Amino acid sequence: MQVTWVLPIVFCLVAGGTCSAADANPLATVLDLMEELKVKIIKEGEVEAKAYDEYLHWCKNAVQDTGFVIETATKEKGELEAKIAELTAETSEAGSKN
C-alpha cells in the first residue's frame, strides 16, 4: 500500500521538487479544494451581506422620505382647499354685490 503514494512523491521530487504530499494524495487535494471553496463562499457571503445592508438602509430612508413627502403634501392640500373655499366665498360675495 505504501508504494502507491510513495511513487508519486518520488516522481515529484525527480520532476522538480515542487510537489507536496497533498499533491500526491487525492483526498488531501479534495480537502484543499473544499477549504478554498469554503473561504470563497464566506467571502462572497460577506460581500452580499454588506450589499443587503446597504439596500436595507436605502429602503428605510426611502420609506421615511416618502412618508415626509406625503405628510407635507397632505398639509399643503388642506391649506390649498381652505384657500380655494375662502376665494370662492369672496367671489360669490363680490358677485352678489353687483
Confidence (pLDDT) at 24: 73
Confidence (pLDDT) at 60: 97
Say whether pTM exceeds 0.85.
Answer: no
Confidence (pLDDT) at 14: 45
pLDDT in tens, the chain (98 residues): 444 554 455 455 444 545 555 567 999 999 999 999 999 999 999 999 999 999 999 999 999 999 999 999 999 999 999 999 999 999 988 888 76
Angstrom distances, CA of residue 5 to CA of 15, 29, 30, 40, 41: 16, 13, 16, 30, 31
- Alpha-carbon 6 to chain mean position: 49
